[in-house]
């Protein structure tokens, strides 16, 4: 079983730290779908007692990231199927469209400037040869800036939670295969509409960006490339 191996320092927040570590390991694929979450083994690996590990595992079940097996069998990392991934992108496209539209309608110049700057930084670092991991971080920063500019505080946690359950492990691998110029093109279309103050065009560009990313990812999954 592949698990995080870095030991956790003793602290009053140890139960939360265990949960964060396990959630991240599921998200990045270090704990693949179907992996048994055995509290004794995880506690030993993380250098903590079994109690916070058991509590973290139950939180993962509540979050939909793990499933309970038959009596006598351990909780396992929940498998994700293609239909769930497609469903995630349907929701993400709608939320992204909302974020772009609301960014225009909120008329927050400082927040809009942050979106534009996030895209400029992404383009600059891609041109300078940024790694796939760095590109993913900067892409995330762009979308986070868009959510912030929309002034809807639920957008980020909604997208993050859904992504954690379904696509994060695939998105990380996708960045090693995707064309960064496609991302730049899509982001430029969004930014152009935002600058023009056209809420409909901004929403459509944001939706199209997600839908095209979804088509690319699902095609790679169908081909067995991820």
Which of 35, 32, 116, 124 has its CA nearest to residue 75?
A: 35
Q: What is the pLDDT of residues 59-113, one digit of tens each?
A: 999 888 888 877 778 899 988 788 988 999 999 999 999 999 999 999 999 999 9
Label residues 156-178 b or e (16+ Cβ within 10 Å = b): beebeebbbbbbbbbbbbbbeeb
Ordered by start, the domain boundaries in the chain are 14-77, 82-222
Q: What is the pLDDT of residues 196-205, one digit of tens each?
A: 999 999 999 9
Please tell me the predicted confidence (pLDDT) of residue 70: 78
Q: What is the pLDDT of residues 43-71, one digit of tens each?
A: 999 999 999 999 999 999 988 888 887 77
Average pLDDT, the chain: 88
Comparing 165 with 38, the larger pLDDT belongs to 38
CA distance 40 to 30: 18
82-222: in CATH 1.10.1200.10: no
- What architecture does CATH give domain 14-77? Orthogonal Bundle (1.10)
């Amino acid at each position: 079983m592949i698990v995080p191996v870095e030991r956790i320092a003793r602290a009053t927040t140890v139960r939360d730290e265990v949960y964060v570590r396990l959630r991240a390991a599921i998200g990045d694929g270090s704990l693949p779908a179907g992996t048994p979450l055995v509290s004794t083994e995880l506690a030993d690996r993380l250098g903590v007692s079994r109690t916070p590990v058991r509590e973290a595992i139950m939180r993962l079940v509540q979050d939909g990231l793990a499933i309970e097996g038959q009596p006598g069998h351990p909780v396992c990392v929940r498998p994700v199927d293609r239909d769930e991934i497609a469903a995630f992108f349907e929701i993400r496209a709608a939320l992204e469209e909302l974020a772009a539209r609301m960014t225009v309608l909120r008329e927050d110049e400082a927040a809009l400037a942050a979106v534009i700057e996030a895209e400029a930084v992404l383009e600059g670092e891609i041109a300078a040869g940024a790694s796939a991991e760095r590109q993913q971080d900067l892409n995330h920063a762009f979308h986070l800036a868009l959510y912030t500019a929309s002034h809807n505080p639920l957008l980020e946690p909604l997208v993050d939670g859904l992504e954690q359950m379904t696509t994060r492990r695939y998105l990380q691998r996708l960045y090693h295969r995707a064309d960064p110029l496609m991302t730049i093109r899509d982001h430029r279309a969004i930014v152009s509409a935002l600058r023009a103050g056209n809420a409909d065009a901004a929403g459509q560009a944001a939706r199209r960006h997600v839908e095209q990313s979804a088509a690319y990812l699902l095609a790679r999954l169908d081909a067995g490339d991820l």
